[in-house]
Amino acid sequence: MLYRTMGTTGETLSILGFGCMRLPQTTDCHIDEKKATEMVRYAISKGVNYFDTAYVYHNGESEPFLGNALSGGLRDKVNIATKMPVWDVQRREDMDRFLDEQLARLRTDHIDYYLLHGLMKKTWHQVEDLDVGGFLDQAISDGRIRHAGFSFHDCYPLFEEIVRAYPWTFC
């Protein structure tokens, strides 16, 4: 496996990450846990150390699946990235509620790379008004997340605004 140093963190991540958005499914459209777990464990055995999921992937099944697949000591061998569903955040308390739920679903005490999911003008301004920067600072300070980032789905001027609004680690 090839690795690269991640920006300012100095962490070494595999250049191939494992995405948990499109895992094998059973005929009733649930994650085929046996096949998907074999895939996760095979990837780890070959050196993959970056796993990406989100609150909404597989209708909410992806995070709990990954938490189960990493049981037995594998969690300590990987970096987990997951994403807050910003479109469902109505109050500042929702941010903590989602993060705490995600930690439980992933069966971990911290998330390595936490993203605000799919930022667009409406969702960015909504979470910005709710002090998302203060939330991220607190979650980093208390150890629930290690690095803050975002994914983006809008026009370049908004991208520049978001980049300038917080000391992000990644996007």
**Which residues are registered as beta bridge partners of 90?**
none
- Computed over every residue of the chain, the mean pLDDT equals 97
**Cα-Cα end-to-end distance for the chain:** 23
Look at the alpha carbons of 71, 72, 74, 79 in this order and tell me if their dihedral is positive or negative: positive
Beta bridge partners of 11: 6
Q: Which residues of 64-85 are buried (b: 16+ CB within 10 A; e: fewer)?
A: bbbbbbbeeeebeebbbbbbbb
pLDDT in tens, 122-141: 999 999 999 999 999 999 99
What's the pLDDT at 29? 96
42-94 residue pLDDT tens:
999 999 999 999 999 999 999 999 999 999 999 999 999 999 999 999 999 99
Kindly tell me if the per-residue pLDDT of 161 is higher than 90: yes
What is the reported pTM? 0.96
Look at residue 129 in the predicted model and tell me its pLDDT.
97
> What is the reported pLDDT for 20?
98
Residue 150 sits at φ, ψ, to 5 deg, of: -155, 155
In which band, very low, low, confident or very high, does the pLDDT at 7 lie, cut at 50, 70 and 90? confident
Structure token pair of residue 85: 């569903």
Q: Which residue has the tokens 């000391």?
A: 167
Residue-range domains of the chain with CATH: 3-165 (3.20.20.100)
Confidence at residue 106, expressed as pLDDT on a 0 to 100 scale: 98
Residue 145: its pLDDT value, please? Answer: 98
